[in-house]
Amino acid sequence: MNQSTPRRMLAGGILLLGISTAVFAQLQSGRYDSANPGSIAQSAPANLSSGARFEAGAYPSFPSQLATGDGQQETVSFCSQCHSTRYITMQPPLPAATWEAEVNKMIKTLGAPIPEASAKKIVLYLQQNYTPETRKQ
């Protein structure tokens, strides 16, 4: 075998790789029209009957599973704007200082729009119901 044979094989392999990549890209990107190389043809929209009616059901609303107590309403009202109240109940019992830090983080770092008076009430509620000493099973 002479020295040019491996070079030819390498060149042929690179050429084959380039062609297969181009073909694969066209297959993955859509259907191209050879008359308009810069455009992609989209499939025709579905023919819907003129009397068709489409509806969406109501967004599911799940009742709060939070412990009953003073501050529960504020906790549901403000905390559920960003996440489910289930996030609170699925946490392990946290120390009182950690609950305060969490509420402050939600306000200062994540931008939760909680007025100061409500924030104090939420912290107190969480401390009265979800610390290792107060958590009810």
pLDDT at 17 (0 to 100)? 84
pLDDT at 115 (0 to 100)? 96
Instruction: Give me the residue spans of the domains in the chain.
Output: 72-129
**What is the Cα–Cα distance from 18 to 13, expressed in whole angstroms?**
9
Model pTM greater than 0.85?
no
pLDDT at 21 (0 to 100)? 80
pLDDT at 116 (0 to 100)? 96
pLDDT at 23 (0 to 100)? 73
Report the chain (137 residues): mean pLDDT per 10 consecutive residues: 75 84 66 64 74 79 85 94 91 95 96 96 96 82
Q: What is the CATH number of domain 72-129?
A: 1.10.760.10
